[in-house]
Amino acid sequence: MLILRYSARELLRHPIRSGLAILGVAVACAMLLDMLMLGGGLNSSFESLLTTAGYELRVAPAGTLPFDTGATISDLQTVRTGMQRLDEIDGVAPVLGANLLLEGPDRPRVFVLGVDPADQGIYRLEAGEDLRSEARGERGIVIDRELTDRGLAIGDTIMLQAPGSFADARSRRGEFTIVGIADFLYSSVGERSAAVSLGTLAEITDQPDEASLLMVRLAEGADPEDVVARLRSDFPGLEIASVGQLVERAAQRLSYFRQLAVILGTVSLIVTTLLIGTIMAISINDRYGTIAALRAIGISRRSLVAAFALESLLLSLAAATIGLALGLLVAGQLESILSDFPGLPAAIRFFVLDPGRVGLAAAGVIAAGVLAALVPAIRAMNAPIASTLHREEP
Amino acid sequence: MTGLLLVLSAGSFIAPLASVEGVWTQDTHPLPCRVATSILVERSLAADIGLSPGDSVDVGSDPAGPGCRVMIAGVYEPDADPSELARERPRILMHLPEVAAMAGREDEVDRFSIRLRDPAGADDVARDLVALMPGTRVLRADVVAARASTTFEVVRRFHRAIGIITITAGGVFLACIMTLKVQERRSQVAALRLVGVSRKTLLSWLILEAALVSVFGGILGIGIGSLASRLINGFYQRAYQTTLEFSIVTTETVWIGLVLAVSLGLIAGAVGAVRLLQVDALAEVGR
């Protein structure tokens, strides 16, 4: 307790020095926290998004990512039936994606998904009713909030038209009645999405028996990697990936952010170490005489080193507390900047708050601070008592 | 630039031409082979799988099916386009009719460009074309460029925000160090005041010292930054196989860095010096 009081008093004796040091380390700690959140946030956010619908595997046309291109899986029924024969597979949900034009003054594009309403993981119904059937002729449509913001509501009738080639553009269209409003899990910011029955969309886009994506739900206990290997051998023309593999690919595409996080996180720790190390070195240099006197009256080296370590710990703790709050605030601002990143699902978060990462940031700053104080403290302990006292005598 | 119009089929995904492994296009349609077909291969792909002009490869729409034998007429270096960085699939260039035949999309294109006689009338022409061709979008070239650079605009704003945080941290660090540096001179300043050196002279001395430290620190920082910039370019140019420059140290950046370092150092040094000169000199030397 005596050591604690001594350490606290020393910090309060130089309010500007301590204040600046705390502020500097707090900013470094904020940066470290943000970089830790950024480094792991994308992966966990992707994984959470991909697993939220309860489908463990994704199947896309060879060489593509889902909806990355206009390519489709042909012979849908054969593929679907073939997959469902496996005991490890509980369900296969086909999705066909197409950009259609909404008839109206500016003919906006709508990304329309053809689904089997009984087995889909593309949207979550928020209001109204779901589609009734996957068959052709189902004229219900579920729309997202981007479309309701344009004044559309449940019960309204809309006309959607397939763009296609000039010659048949007027012939491929369909009239739909809005039956529900949904949250489309994979829509990007500003994208207008809607879902209709798979059969109806296939008819409009002239893509019978085709799908852009298959979402595969596994039976309980099935190992996703084993099933992927088996499906790849059974369906060599398809791109089959587990959620883990997709997360890995997404992480590779956005590896820049991870690398930036590592670099800036490391710089933050170095700044913390340098700042606390410098502050403590100067503070300890100022007190060589006091240290020699305390040692002369019998205070052990260990107690004195502990006092300096404690002083640094108090400094780091104060900085970490401010820094963590600051870091969360800054993370919110940075997230709002990156939320405009094109092509990513709006649900993706770059900065994900994880108590483990908050703890790691605080622990990193505190450990760096305490370690930085140990070097000048140990050096001071080795100074000869008599000559130091003589030199420091007023 | 604004004189160019880009016409897109409204539903099209502007997709890379082909995937490569052997080399196949994405759609699966019957494959009518044509004679005397030649292709251009992207440099990175040619290097990765050891292709060179004069070699023959099979190109097809189905990885399991037969392909058409084509000759590599040349290897090309794609334009250093930032929007192409995240592209994972390598590209080959083929004659349009041959791609259309392979993809089963004869007499179709995903997009085409129009050069106008009078660039000033681009908007009017775009409007007329949309009315003429239902199901298409007609965009001015500058609009296409702006859309393609959205990613980089977001990254630029992110970098700017990170830059502000870094400058704040650096500024506080600098202020802290300068305050300590000045305070370190406590007994020296007290002694000089006792032998009659004026406060003004001491203040000038302390501020000059702060300025020198800041200038040297700033120059050293710019050196480290330039070195880091080279390392970043080297790393990412290799990683993405591009000639794009990812980090550029401009004269403006150098000046901003120097001015910030010197002004922050001077302010911190001056504040510390003024405080130091207010201390009782006798008490400071222990009398």
Q: Residue ranges of the domains in chain B?
A: 4-148, 150-284
Give contacts of A 115-174 with B, CB under 8 A: 161-166, 169-170
Question: Which pTM was predicted?
Answer: 0.69
Mind listing the pLDDT tens digit for each residue in B36-95?
A: 578 899 888 888 888 899 998 888 776 666 778 888 999 988 877 666 666 667 788 888
Which residue is it, tokens 């370019």?
B233
% of chain A surpassing 90 pLDDT: 25
Pair A93, A178 in one domain: yes
Give the number of beta-carbon pairs within 8 Å between A and B.
141
Say how many domains are in chain A. Answer: 2
**Nearest one of A146, A102, A133, A104 to A196, comparing CA atoms:** A133
State residue B3's pLDDT score.
Answer: 46
CA distance to A330, A348, B27, B90, per residue, from A335 (Å): 8, 10, 38, 32
Q: Is it the case that residue A123 has pLDDT exceeding 50?
A: yes
Question: In this structure, which amino acid lies at residue A182?
Answer: A
Q: What's the whole-number mean pLDDT along residues A329-349?
A: 84
What the block records as the tokens of B96 is 């349009």
Pair A127, A102 in one domain: yes
Q: Which residues of B touch A368 (CB under 8 A)?
A: none
Q: Is it the case that residue B2 has pLDDT exceeding 50?
A: no
Q: Mean pLDDT of all residues in chain A?
A: 84
Q: What's the whole-number mean pLDDT along residues B207-217?
A: 87
The top-scoring range by mean pLDDT among A281-290, A341-350, A384-393, B210-219 is: B210-219
State residue A79's pLDDT score.
Answer: 92
State residue A147's pLDDT score.
Answer: 92
What the block records as the tokens of B33 is 């082979």
Non-local (6+) Cβ contacts of A325 within 8 A are none
- Comparing CB atoms, the residue among B11, B165, B285 nearest residue A163 is B11
Shortest distance between the Cα of A64 and any Cα of chain B, in A, equals 8
State residue B5's pLDDT score.
Answer: 56
Q: Is it the case that residue A56 has pLDDT exceeding 80?
A: yes
- Comparing CB atoms, the residue among A20, A100, A343 nearest residue B179 is A20
Pair A313, A277 in one domain: yes
Smallest CA–CA distance from A97 into chain B, residue: B11
Non-local (6+) Cβ contacts of A129 within 8 A are A140, A179, A180
State residue A78's pLDDT score.
Answer: 92
Q: Which residues of A touch B88 (CB under 8 A)?
A: 253
Q: What's the whole-number mean pLDDT along residues B18-40?
A: 52
d(CA A10, CA A219): 64
Three-state DSSP state, B136? strand
Q: Which residues of A touch B16 (CB under 8 A)?
A: 69
Which string of b and e fits A338-369 if b means at least 16 CB within 10 Å? bebbbebbbbbbbbbeeeebbebbbebbbebb
State residue A357's pLDDT score.
Answer: 83
Smallest CA–CA distance from B275 into chain A, residue: A16
Pair A279, A344 in one domain: yes
Pair A197, A318 in one domain: no
Pair A108, A202 in one domain: yes
Pair A13, A101 in one domain: no
d(CA B160, CA B166): 10
Q: Is it the case that residue B35 has pLDDT exceeding 70?
A: no
- Residue at A237 is within a domain: no
State residue B9's pLDDT score.
Answer: 44
State which residues form the domain around A360.
2-49+253-392
- Comparing CB atoms, the residue among B27, B28, B175 nearest residue A20 is B175
Q: Sorting pLDDT into bands at 50, 70 and 90, what band is B227?
A: very high
Chain B within 8 Å of A323 (Cβ-Cβ)? Answer: no
Which string of b and e fits A49-86 if b means at least 16 CB within 10 Å? bbeebebbbbbbbbbbbbbbbbbbbbebeebbeebeeb
Shortest distance between the Cα of A221 and any Cα of chain B, in A, equals 33
Q: Which residues of B touch A98 (CB under 8 A)?
A: 11
Pair A211, A327 in one domain: no
Q: Which residues of B touch A111 (CB under 8 A)?
A: none
Q: Sorting pLDDT into bands at 50, 70 and 90, what band is A214?
A: very high
In this structure, the number of other CB atoms found within 10 A of the CB of residue A145 comes to 15
The top-scoring range by mean pLDDT among A194-198, B9-13, B63-67, B263-267 is: A194-198
- Say which range, A167-181, A187-201, B11-25, B194-208, has the weakest mean pLDDT: B11-25
Chain B within 8 Å of A264 (Cβ-Cβ)? Answer: yes
Q: With an 8 Å Cβ cutoff, are B154 and A341 in contact?
A: yes
- Residue at A198 is within a domain: yes
Smallest CA–CA distance from A29 into chain B, residue: B169
Shortest distance between the Cα of A7 and any Cα of chain B, in A, equals 19
Q: With an 8 Å Cβ cutoff, are B10 and A99 in contact?
A: yes
d(CA A325, CA A321): 7
State residue A178's pLDDT score.
Answer: 95
State residue A20's pLDDT score.
Answer: 81
- Residue at A229 is within a domain: no
d(CA A93, CA A97): 13
Q: What's the whole-number mean pLDDT along residues B134-141?
A: 78
Q: Sorting pLDDT into bands at 50, 70 and 90, what band is A198?
A: very high
- Residue at A268 is within a domain: yes
Pair A75, A30 in one domain: no
Pair A44, A80 in one domain: no
Q: Is it the case that residue B181 has pLDDT exceeding 80?
A: no
Q: Which residues of A touch B86 (CB under 8 A)?
A: 253
**Nearest one of A338, A368, A168 to A271, comparing CA atoms:** A368
Pair A77, A174 in one domain: yes
- Comparing CB atoms, the residue among B135, B162, B173 nearest residue A24 is B173
The number of C-alpha atoms within 13 Å of B41 and in the hemisphere containing its C-beta is: 28
Pair A194, A289 in one domain: no
Q: Which residues of B touch A100 (CB under 8 A)?
A: 11
CA distance to A108, A139, A160, B211, per residue, from A201 (Å): 18, 10, 10, 71
